[in-house]
Structure 1
Amino acid sequence: MAGTGTNGTVTMNDVALEAGVSIKTVSNVVNDYPHIRPSTRAKVEEAIDKLGYRMNFSARHLRQGRTGIIGLALPELSLPYFAELADSVIRAAEARGIVVLIEQTSGGRQHELDVLTSDRRQLTDGLIFSPLELGPDDAQALKVDYPLVVLGERIFGGDWDHVTMNNVDAARAATQHLIDQGRRRIAVIGAHHGESMGSAALRMLGYQAALAANGIPLDTDLIIEGGLWHRQTGADSTAALLDSGVEVDAIFGLNDAMALGALRTLHARGIDVPGQIAVIGFDDIEDSQYSAPSLSTISPGREQIAETAVDLLLSRIAGDDEPFRRVITDYSVIARESTEA
């Protein structure tokens, strides 16, 4: 059996000795060089498993002129969806030997512009960026000289890879789920009046499409405006809805945080969920499983978003010059107690 390095760490040379091949062959295998005979690859992989060899990613990145760090710029980590997205990105990156540097833009336009030109970009090999305020007029700012993957709905097209969720169809499915439960007076909380792009606008399109497809007239009294999509927004919007006296038998919170706030207000008012009013959210954050009642929601493919974004970015960092890609992730309706009696 081969020995180990002087500090007890298994080296590439140890693997080469164990497998009876050259160090170069071991390097080709661990770097997934395609032109290796299957029998040789199998011998090297068996030696790696036997010795417990772990690649020195730091040394590898230095040789390649890279830092081994990618940036992740998100609007607000206090929002559960973005916190959980960050966790998913970190785990996806770690599985590929990459470290993630997280930055918070607070959803401010200037902060979003600043993150694109920050000196911190010298510390990272590329950036995964989720803007809330930038729009088509800011497209020039995203023409940067480093690999970039954009998340979300704020900017369509352009010279960058883009990963987004299927907001319209997913919101339509959420509304249809309520309709299938016999609901006809379906309120929305978290609408953004005058918004033509972004999550609120796209999810409203899905809501309206579901109503139209089922012959349910759109009642603007059931559309409740909301600012930041926090739990308090949901609680306050639901209180305003109930105080207005408008008839309602279901609430679609445009994210889970607001839907959880809605559940709190309904509980405080002694309103049975889902007996009197059904509630559905969007995002499938972890808390949605543990509310009472548990919250029905849309799973927008968060893990798929994270995995796809990391893979696209690392591909660009490695020199991929194929046409830029736009990926729309899958979604599913997660039916729980808040809509199903």
Structure 2
Amino acid sequence: SFTIDESKREQQEQVARELIDSCLKEGARTIIVDIGNKFDVLLQINSSKNNLNTDKVRFWCYYDNPEPYVPGGYSLKAEETIKASQYILFANKNLAKITSIIYSLPEKHIDLKDKTAEGIGYYPIEEVEKLIEKRYLESDSLRAENGWTNVKYLFVYFGGNNDAYFDQAFPAFLSSLSQIDKNIVKDIVFLLHQHPAAKEQNRDGILLREWLMQQNYIQAIISTLKTSDQAQIVADAALYYQTSMAPQFSLIGLPTVQVGHEVYHDVLVKFNLCYTTTNSNELAVALQNMKDKSQSSDKIQQHKGLIYNAIGYTPDWPTNLYRIIFDYK
């Protein structure tokens, strides 16, 4: 037995062929391949090699991120997978427009010429609505379970899982945090909620522990919460560098700051829906402001329409997806 990521290319090729054959034997008309790792590229390449993209069966490359460019490697993987694909499916329906541009690098376009692009308008809005309710009903009990009842401010840093995050963004955050006046951070507990795929190597966890040994007054711990939903339920504010969850933070009313080595111009930044910091002075201001205020329900409602438009969300996305899977002409 072996895992896909650790296996040799020959083994991955074999698994890709067997997986495709299995889907075809089951009579699959539509096969949607995510953008996540090199194996996804192999699936697309094998479908192209065998000329499987026909009227009877279509292989779609699924671009699930709402942003046209994602740092840290996602967009480079997207370029590879899209290059091997004829059909491109975007969660953000805006990205499927002829006038839209997506990028593999900040200044390098991904060529969509001669590709068939469709958008379904998906974002997990149902989960957002549930989170709003759970923050009201479950926050106190969940904080009590974890010994955080007396924590005045619980600020959650939502971690990433790429080299840009591990080597640049997270170290920049820690460096800025170490320079902030004690009076600003003395009543804040910083909770690092790691990306699920980052826990095994624990690069950010190790970095945090080593950094804490040099700090005298900053309180920071690694989250043992099971899900990012739980982290959002207990949070008084959210910190991040890059995550597709960012629109969610604003939609549920979390004061939010994007913090890192440079500004990443995502939806929240473009529409001034979060603080941005790349140094200790900016971070100090953001932390103080997030302590002083939370978002009102009226402001959240104003943000909602703006964010929905920006992330290309539409409530009838299930109908759009059904059409792609079962009735695409």
The TM-score, its normalising length taken from structure 1, stands at 0.30
Larger radius of gyration: 1
Q: Which has the higher contact order (CA 8 A, sep 6+)?
A: 2
